[in-house]
Structure 1
């Protein structure tokens, strides 16, 4: 009888020790929302750069998100009072990895850009390049950076 009790005790402790331990509810991040084919642009609202998800029809266009930013808000975005300080015609000529992040060469001089335009470009470039890389802007012989987006991505 004593041997059977010891076997039962041993079996009980082995079985109890190999299960999943109870825990509190573990929550995850919210499910992604928005269109499956979209681009993130940073427009201005009330003078501050804000993240805007722009749906794209069909495939991603051959232009960069910074080019879309320079084209300005579309009709829907204008209705929501989004604006831009990125000069019309600003285009990305090149993007290259650099030791401190990414160098983005623009079609305009970067020293003449307003602080808000720089924030818009840096944040938009950061999101399109996938992460927290620092961005150095070059254009017409001038350089700004390396810069970080002041807003969460």
Structure 2
């Protein structure tokens, strides 16, 4: 009986941890969406791993590094009008273990003259207790 109670307790703890991690990832993306829509690309970048090993894969192929990614965003989206209002649609959040997660979804921008959009797949890693994007493939 003690083993059954202990097993049930461990299962509940795992479920709670899973839910908390999933919510932390969704919150990070919601914070990114808000920062971007406010024209704050530096705030948006807080969701990324601040490392030279960060990988961003876009239509021009892979680019490495947090600073490179920031510079590319600033070049492509030089002002708030170019940035527009960002909306994410999160289709899947899958925890792959205690430190890794996969996220898939779509993005769209509402701008004065157009509304571009596309899809993304993200690899999140828990680093120093915080979820961060370590690889972003956006098209």
Q: Structure 1 length normalisation: TM-score?
A: 0.29
Bigger helix share: 2
Bigger strand share: 2
Name the structure, 1 or 2, with higher relative contact order (CA <8 Å, separation 6+).
Answer: 2
Q: Structure 2 length normalisation: TM-score?
A: 0.31
Larger radius of gyration between Structure 1 and Structure 2:
1
